Protein backbone atom coordinates (compact mmCIF):
# COMPACT_ATOMS: atom_id res chain seq x y z
CA UNK A 1 0.00 0.00 0.00
CA UNK A 2 1.25 3.47 -0.88
CA UNK A 3 1.94 5.87 1.97
CA UNK A 4 1.36 9.62 2.02
CA UNK A 5 2.76 11.56 4.97
CA UNK A 6 1.43 14.84 6.36
CA UNK A 7 4.38 16.36 8.23
CA UNK A 8 4.19 19.30 10.63
CA UNK A 9 7.01 21.84 10.35
CA UNK A 10 8.18 24.63 12.70
CA UNK A 11 6.11 27.81 12.98
CA UNK A 12 9.22 29.95 13.40
CA UNK A 13 12.08 28.37 15.31
CA UNK A 14 13.59 25.74 13.01
CA UNK A 15 14.56 23.61 16.02
CA UNK A 16 10.88 22.86 16.65
CA UNK A 17 10.69 19.78 14.44
CA UNK A 18 10.47 16.20 15.62
CA UNK A 19 13.08 13.51 15.09
CA UNK A 20 10.45 11.40 13.36
CA UNK A 21 9.62 14.22 10.95
CA UNK A 22 13.27 14.64 10.02
CA UNK A 23 13.66 10.90 9.42
CA UNK A 24 10.55 10.73 7.23
CA UNK A 25 11.57 13.75 5.15
CA UNK A 26 14.96 12.16 4.51
CA UNK A 27 13.59 8.72 3.61
CA UNK A 28 10.75 9.57 1.22
CA UNK A 29 10.97 10.24 -2.51
CA UNK A 30 9.30 13.64 -2.86
CA UNK A 31 8.19 16.52 -0.61
CA UNK A 32 5.16 18.61 -1.59
CA UNK A 33 5.28 22.16 -0.25
CA UNK A 34 3.63 25.56 -0.58
CA UNK A 35 6.74 27.56 -1.50
CA UNK A 36 9.97 25.75 -2.38
CA UNK A 37 12.05 28.77 -1.32
CA UNK A 38 10.59 28.73 2.19
CA UNK A 39 10.83 24.97 2.61
CA UNK A 40 14.38 24.88 1.27
CA UNK A 41 15.60 26.80 4.35
CA UNK A 42 14.35 24.02 6.63
CA UNK A 43 15.72 21.24 4.46
CA UNK A 44 19.13 22.92 4.11
CA UNK A 45 19.44 23.31 7.89
CA UNK A 46 19.04 19.55 8.36
CA UNK A 47 20.86 18.52 5.17
CA UNK A 48 17.78 16.93 3.65
CA UNK A 49 18.29 16.30 -0.07
CA UNK A 50 14.78 15.06 -0.92
CA UNK A 51 13.36 16.88 -3.99
CA UNK A 52 10.67 19.53 -3.50
CA UNK A 53 7.57 20.15 -5.59
CA UNK A 54 5.03 22.92 -5.04
CA UNK A 55 1.44 21.69 -4.75
CA UNK A 56 -1.86 23.28 -5.84
CA UNK A 57 -2.71 25.69 -3.05
CA UNK A 58 -6.49 25.64 -3.27
CA UNK A 59 -9.55 24.79 -5.24
CA UNK A 60 -9.74 27.42 -8.01
CA UNK A 61 -13.15 29.07 -8.05
CA UNK A 62 -12.55 31.24 -11.07
CA UNK A 63 -10.04 31.79 -13.82
CA UNK A 64 -9.43 29.17 -16.51
CA UNK A 65 -5.63 29.48 -16.42
CA UNK A 66 -5.54 28.92 -12.66
CA UNK A 67 -7.80 25.90 -12.96
CA UNK A 68 -5.62 24.41 -15.69
CA UNK A 69 -2.47 24.93 -13.63
CA UNK A 70 -4.07 23.30 -10.58
CA UNK A 71 -5.24 20.30 -12.59
CA UNK A 72 -1.80 19.93 -14.17
CA UNK A 73 -0.13 19.88 -10.74
CA UNK A 74 -2.66 17.39 -9.41
CA UNK A 75 -2.07 15.04 -12.33
CA UNK A 76 1.69 15.30 -11.81
CA UNK A 77 1.30 14.35 -8.13
CA UNK A 78 -1.06 11.49 -8.98
CA UNK A 79 1.47 10.07 -11.45
CA UNK A 80 4.22 10.20 -8.82
CA UNK A 81 2.02 8.24 -6.41
CA UNK A 82 0.96 5.75 -9.10
CA UNK A 83 4.62 5.13 -9.92
CA UNK A 84 5.08 3.81 -6.37
CA UNK A 85 6.86 6.80 -4.87
CA UNK A 86 6.29 7.82 -1.25
CA UNK A 87 5.36 11.49 -0.82
CA UNK A 88 4.99 13.89 2.10
CA UNK A 89 3.09 17.13 2.41
CA UNK A 90 4.48 20.03 4.44
CA UNK A 91 3.31 23.61 4.92
CA UNK A 92 5.34 26.80 5.04
CA UNK A 93 4.85 26.75 8.82
CA UNK A 94 2.97 24.50 11.23
CA UNK A 95 0.67 21.55 10.75
CA UNK A 96 -0.61 21.08 7.19
CA UNK A 97 -4.37 21.25 6.55
CA UNK A 98 -5.14 23.22 9.75
CA UNK A 99 -6.39 26.52 8.33
CA UNK A 100 -4.03 25.68 5.49
CA UNK A 101 -4.41 25.13 1.72
CA UNK A 102 -3.07 21.57 1.95
CA UNK A 103 -6.52 20.30 2.86
CA UNK A 104 -7.58 20.61 -0.80
CA UNK A 105 -4.72 18.41 -1.94
CA UNK A 106 -5.34 15.74 0.71
CA UNK A 107 -9.04 15.60 -0.18
CA UNK A 108 -8.17 15.09 -3.86
CA UNK A 109 -5.68 12.32 -3.05
CA UNK A 110 -8.27 10.52 -0.93
CA UNK A 111 -10.85 10.98 -3.69
CA UNK A 112 -8.47 9.57 -6.30
CA UNK A 113 -6.88 6.66 -4.42
CA UNK A 114 -9.36 5.82 -1.65
CA UNK A 115 -8.25 2.94 0.58
CA UNK A 116 -5.31 2.10 -1.66
CA UNK A 117 -3.21 4.82 -0.01
CA UNK A 118 -2.41 5.21 3.68
CA UNK A 119 -2.52 8.80 4.97
CA UNK A 120 -0.06 9.14 7.87
CA UNK A 121 0.03 12.40 9.89
CA UNK A 122 3.30 13.26 11.65
CA UNK A 123 2.36 15.65 14.49
CA UNK A 124 4.29 18.75 15.47
CA UNK A 125 4.07 22.51 15.81
CA UNK A 126 0.73 24.33 15.54
CA UNK A 127 0.24 28.04 16.19
CA UNK A 128 -3.24 27.60 17.69
CA UNK A 129 -2.07 24.96 20.20
CA UNK A 130 1.10 26.89 21.02
CA UNK A 131 -0.91 30.04 21.78
CA UNK A 132 -3.46 28.18 23.90
CA UNK A 133 -0.75 26.50 25.96
CA UNK A 134 0.58 29.90 27.03
CA UNK A 135 -2.71 31.81 27.24
CA UNK A 136 -3.70 30.89 30.78
CA UNK A 137 -7.35 30.27 29.86
CA UNK A 138 -9.49 27.10 29.88
CA UNK A 139 -8.59 25.04 26.81
CA UNK A 140 -10.22 21.65 27.36
CA UNK A 141 -13.06 22.84 25.13
CA UNK A 142 -12.37 25.52 22.52
CA UNK A 143 -13.64 26.73 19.14
CA UNK A 144 -11.08 27.38 16.40
CA UNK A 145 -12.15 29.65 13.53
CA UNK A 146 -8.96 29.86 11.46
CA UNK A 147 -8.69 33.17 9.58
CA UNK A 148 -11.82 35.31 9.81
CA UNK A 149 -13.30 36.42 6.47
CA UNK A 150 -12.19 39.84 5.29
CA UNK A 151 -15.68 41.20 4.67
CA UNK A 152 -18.73 39.01 4.15
CA UNK A 153 -19.82 37.25 7.32
CA UNK A 154 -17.20 38.91 9.50
CA UNK A 155 -19.57 40.77 11.83
CA UNK A 156 -21.78 37.69 12.11
CA UNK A 157 -18.79 35.75 13.42
CA UNK A 158 -18.10 38.40 16.04
CA UNK A 159 -21.68 38.02 17.25
CA UNK A 160 -21.18 34.25 17.45
CA UNK A 161 -17.95 34.77 19.41
CA UNK A 162 -19.84 37.02 21.83
CA UNK A 163 -22.47 34.34 22.37
CA UNK A 164 -20.04 31.44 22.77
CA UNK A 165 -19.34 30.04 26.22
CA UNK A 166 -16.26 28.26 24.89
CA UNK A 167 -12.80 29.72 24.51
CA UNK A 168 -12.54 30.96 20.91
CA UNK A 169 -9.30 31.08 18.92
CA UNK A 170 -8.60 32.54 15.48
CA UNK A 171 -5.81 33.97 13.34
CA UNK A 172 -5.52 37.60 12.30
CA UNK A 173 -3.16 39.68 10.18
CA UNK A 174 -1.42 42.86 11.42
CA UNK A 175 -3.43 44.86 8.87
CA UNK A 176 -6.74 44.02 10.53
CA UNK A 177 -5.84 43.41 14.18
CA UNK A 178 -6.90 46.87 15.43
CA UNK A 179 -10.29 46.66 13.69
CA UNK A 180 -10.69 43.16 15.08
CA UNK A 181 -10.03 44.36 18.62
CA UNK A 182 -12.51 47.21 18.11
CA UNK A 183 -15.15 44.71 16.98
CA UNK A 184 -14.46 42.46 19.97
CA UNK A 185 -14.91 45.42 22.30
CA UNK A 186 -18.13 46.41 20.53
CA UNK A 187 -19.67 42.93 20.75
CA UNK A 188 -18.24 41.69 24.04
CA UNK A 189 -17.54 44.84 26.01
CA UNK A 190 -14.78 44.38 28.56
CA UNK A 191 -16.29 41.33 30.26
CA UNK A 192 -13.86 38.93 28.63
CA UNK A 193 -10.17 38.13 28.48
CA UNK A 194 -8.25 38.61 25.27
CA UNK A 195 -4.86 37.00 24.70
CA UNK A 196 -2.85 38.04 21.66
CA UNK A 197 0.14 35.92 20.69
CA UNK A 198 2.42 37.05 17.90
CA UNK A 199 5.70 35.92 16.38
CA UNK A 200 5.39 32.65 18.30
CA UNK A 201 8.70 30.75 18.74
CA UNK A 202 10.60 33.60 17.04
CA UNK A 203 13.01 36.19 18.48
CA UNK A 204 10.29 38.80 19.07
CA UNK A 205 7.68 36.41 20.45
CA UNK A 206 5.09 38.22 22.54
CA UNK A 207 1.96 37.25 24.45
CA UNK A 208 -0.26 40.08 25.70
CA UNK A 209 -3.45 39.65 27.72
CA UNK A 210 -6.19 41.85 29.11
CA UNK A 211 -9.70 42.98 28.26
CA UNK A 212 -10.40 44.43 24.78
CA UNK A 213 -9.95 48.04 25.93
CA UNK A 214 -6.60 47.30 27.56
CA UNK A 215 -5.29 45.42 24.55
CA UNK A 216 -6.46 48.16 22.19
CA UNK A 217 -4.74 50.80 24.26
CA UNK A 218 -1.51 48.83 24.35
CA UNK A 219 -1.27 48.37 20.59
CA UNK A 220 -2.41 51.91 19.81
CA UNK A 221 0.44 53.11 22.01
CA UNK A 222 2.90 50.55 20.64
CA UNK A 223 2.30 50.50 16.90
CA UNK A 224 5.76 49.05 16.34
CA UNK A 225 4.43 45.82 17.89
CA UNK A 226 1.76 45.38 15.20
CA UNK A 227 3.86 42.97 13.20
CA UNK A 228 3.69 39.30 12.35
CA UNK A 229 0.74 36.96 12.34
CA UNK A 230 -1.51 37.11 15.42
CA UNK A 231 -3.26 34.32 17.25
CA UNK A 232 -6.28 35.76 19.08
CA UNK A 233 -7.72 33.94 22.09
CA UNK A 234 -11.05 35.06 23.57
CA UNK A 235 -12.26 33.71 26.91
CA UNK A 236 -15.21 34.61 29.12
CA UNK A 237 -14.00 32.40 31.96
CA UNK A 238 -13.24 34.01 35.29
CA UNK A 239 -10.77 31.21 36.11
d(CA 11, CA 23): 19
Q: How many CA atoms lie within 13 A of 166 on its CB side?
A: 12
Question: What dihedral angle (degrees, nearest 10) is formed by the CA atoms of 27, 33, 38, 43?
Answer: 0
Q: Where along the chain do its domains lie?
A: 2-122, 127-235
CATH architecture of 2-122: 3-Layer(aba) Sandwich (3.40)
* 172 CB neighbour count, 10 Å cutoff: 19
pTM of the full structure = 0.90
d(CA 158, CA 225): 24
d(CA 232, CA 35): 26
How confident is the model at residue 61, as a pLDDT?
43
d(CA 78, CA 190): 52
SS3 label, residue 55 = coil
Contact 183, 162 (CB under 8 A): no
How confident is the model at residue 212, as a pLDDT?
94
Contact 57, 34 (CB under 8 A): yes
Contact 77, 85 (CB under 8 A): no
Strands (E), the chain: 2-7, 30-33, 52-54, 87-89, 117-122, 142-147, 167-172, 193-198, 206-210, 230-235
CATH of 127-235 given 3.40.50.150, 3.40.1030.10, 3.30.950.10, 3.40.50.720: 3.30.950.10
d(CA 6, CA 96): 7
pLDDT digits (tens), the chain, 239 positions: 899 999 999 999 999 999 999 999 999 999 999 999 999 999 999 999 999 999 976 554 434 446 778 889 999 999 999 999 999 999 999 999 998 889 999 999 999 999 999 999 999 999 999 999 999 999 999 999 999 988 888 989 999 999 999 999 999 999 999 999 999 999 999 989 999 999 999 999 999 999 999 999 999 999 999 999 999 999 987 65
Amino acid sequence: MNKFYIVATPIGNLEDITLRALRILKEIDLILCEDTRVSRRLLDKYEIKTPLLSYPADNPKSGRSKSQNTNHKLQTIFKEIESGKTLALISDAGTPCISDPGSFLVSKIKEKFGDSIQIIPIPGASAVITALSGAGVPASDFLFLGFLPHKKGRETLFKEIAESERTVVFYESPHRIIKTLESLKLHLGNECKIVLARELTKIYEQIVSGNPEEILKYFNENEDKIKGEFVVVVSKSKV
